[in-house]
Amino acid sequence: MSVKFLRVLATVGVLLVGATALAACNDSTTASAPIGTEAVTTTSMDASDSAEAESEASKEAESGASNASVSVPATSPDSSTKVPKNFPGGIPTPTGVKLSDKEKAYLAELKRKNVSFKGDSDNNIALTMGAYVCSQRAQKTDPTMIKAYMRAAIGPMSKSEADAGVRADKVIAAADEHLC
């Protein structure tokens, strides 16, 4: 009977130790309680400032909600805006601007070679790519660098890397022949 008693006593002892360990792990006061009584923030505000900020925020939210139902923000550029002469990015082509003969010939060559750019309804991307080629040629940039930039720009619109390379070659050739 003493062996049986010792086994039961050992089992009860192990269970008590396990239960005590689990109870100690479940104590959430040390894991999530803040240290001290100060608020855990990086800035502080007086009560009067806080009330003032809340009232301003609610006024802005109310006025924003009322304005949103009355008007929709403009989605097209203001036609009176002029592009500065030193604007980077090549040849700007806002709506209504006449194209030069070189630009027309360049765009015709791209069309003949079946090169188009997604979303380029006003030919702005095509003209910007051609202007990039011409500006880099004028700066005597390494042709490999020009082609690498063009492949990167055309890549997302291409079926494969090889297709991007072919299209980049066509854009560069058209720019060299007709635009530069």
pLDDT, one tens digit for every residue, the chain (180 residues)? 677 777 777 787 777 777 776 666 665 555 555 566 666 555 555 555 555 555 555 555 555 544 445 566 666 767 777 766 666 554 444 556 688 888 889 898 988 998 888 877 788 888 888 999 999 999 998 989 989 988 888 888 888 888 888 999 999 999 999 988
Q: What is the pLDDT, as a whole number, of residue 135?
A: 92
Range of the domain at 159: 123-179
Q: Is the C-alpha dihedral spanning 104, 177, 166, 154 positive or negative?
A: negative
Residue 159 lies in a domain: yes
Residue 70 lies in a domain: no
Q: What is the pLDDT, as a whole number, of residue 173?
A: 93
Q: Is the C-alpha dihedral spanning 116, 100, 148, 122 positive or negative?
A: negative
Residue 156 lies in a domain: yes
How many domains is the chain built from?
Answer: 1
H/E run at residue 97: none
Residue 103 lies in a domain: no
Residue 33 lies in a domain: no
Sequence-separated (6 or more) residues with CB below 8 Å from residue 158: 164, 167
Residue 150 lies in a domain: yes
Residue 105 lies in a domain: no
Q: What is the pLDDT, as a whole number, of residue 169?
A: 92
Residue 132 lies in a domain: yes
Which pTM was predicted? 0.47
* CA–CA dist 109, 143 (Å, integer): 20
